[in-house]
Amino acid sequence: MLLGSIEAGGTKFVCAVGNEDYRTMDKTQFPTTTPEETLQKCIDYFKKFDDLKAIGISSFGPIELRKNSPKYGYITNTPKPGWADVDFVGTIKKAFDVPIHWTTDVNGSAYGEYVISTLFNEHLNSLVYYTIGTGVGAGAIVNGQFIGDLGHPEMGHVRLKRHPDDLDFKGICPYHGDCLEGLVSGPTFEARTGKKGQDVPLTDHVWDIMAFYVAQAAIQVTLTLRPGKIVFGGGVVSEEFLKKVRGQFDKLMNGYINVGKLEDYIVMPAIKENGSATFGDFALALLEYRK
């Protein structure tokens, strides 16, 4: 049995085929261009495999997850040019008469991290996964179920207390300015410093400012959901940066609650090279197939 994964990002798509053990058998990636061209590349890729039984799709958003909505399976009011109001699932479903699981990119990553934790016998009941890259998003799982009823969480757009050394920066979110995404996503480096994030050394004070904001997000979700673990992935995140985040978390929490050892609570993904979403997609596709 083969399972398909589509990790749909605003910059690139990653398509993969795996088995029931969630092992990747084949993978490809291509830039995100127009919906017509990009989705056709997905279809052309999967048509090479005869035994495809189900597909898991984890997509950038916002997306419509409510199955009773006429727009279920759509990317909705995304700011990405050309992608608003695109029937993603319907397009794939026309080409493949197989079960399809549809969720957000961060939910797919969260599920991948949740499943692999059970394989390593961590016995987590809950976790939250943040990605910090071109944008910021998060998915939350409690007892194996995604959080979100009226829609998926938008934890990348929570409001934050401003760092005293960052008051002149207006933020880059087109909707809110200085929400979490507007203050810590990858493009904020260039907006603040004129340099790409990879060219800004970790000794630069901007990383301390970023850690201050990310720690606030971790505190908010800790106090709201009390998850077993918070995982941070995405291009902006490194272990060195998370050391700064843990330090700010400890300072801002100020001993109010104990979450255990911070090195075990605020962590990098267990699945390397940002492969959590593909792993999660395989697991969700298998769930869909078995329904």
String of DSSP letters for 217-271 = HHHHHHHHH--S-EEEESTT--HHHHHHHHHHHHHHHTTSS--S-HHHHEE--SS
Instruction: Kindly report, residue by residue over 61-119, the tens digit of the pLDDT.
Output: 899 999 999 999 999 998 889 999 999 999 999 999 999 999 999 999 999 999 999 88
Shared domain check, 217 and 126: yes
> Is 287 a member of any domain?
no
Three-state SS for 142? strand
Question: What DSSP letter does each residue of 48-87 carry, written as one string?
Answer: T-TTEEEEEEEE-SSB---TTSTTTTEE-S-SSTT-TTEE
Say how far apart CA 73 and CA 5 lie, in whole Å: 15
Q: Considering the chain, what is the average pLDDT of its residues? A: 95
Say how far apart CA 271 and CA 278 lie, in whole Å: 10
Number of separate domains in the chain? 2
Shared domain check, 220 and 171: yes
Shared domain check, 260 and 131: yes
Say how far apart CA 238 and CA 232 lie, in whole Å: 9
CATH number at residue 250: 3.30.420.40
> Is 135 a member of any domain?
yes
Shared domain check, 200 and 135: yes
pTM: 0.93
> Is 277 a member of any domain?
no
> Is 23 a member of any domain?
yes
What is the separation of C-alpha 48 from the centre of its chain, rounded to a whole number of angstroms? 28
DSSP state of 100: E
> Is 171 a member of any domain?
yes
Angle, alpha carbons 87-232-21 (nearest 5°): 65
Shared domain check, 152 and 188: yes
Instruction: Kindly report, residue by residue over 6-32, the tens digit of the pLDDT.
Output: 999 988 999 999 999 999 999 999 999
> Is 280 a member of any domain?
no
Task: Please say which residue of 59, 74, 104 terminates a domain.
Answer: 104
DSSP state of 162: P
Q: Beta partners for 209? A: none
Shared domain check, 248 and 126: yes
Banded pLDDT at 261 (limits 50, 70, 90): very high
Per-position b or e across 220-246, b if 16+ CB within 10 A of its CB? ebbeebebbbbbbbbebbeeebbebbb
- Per-residue pLDDT for 121 more than 80? no
Say how far apart CA 291 and CA 287 lie, in whole Å: 6
Shared domain check, 162 and 86: no
Say how far apart CA 113 and CA 129 lie, in whole Å: 8
Give the residue numbers spanning the domain of 253.
121-267
Instruction: Kindly report, residue by residue over 225-250, the tens digit of the pLDDT.
Output: 999 999 999 999 999 999 999 999 99
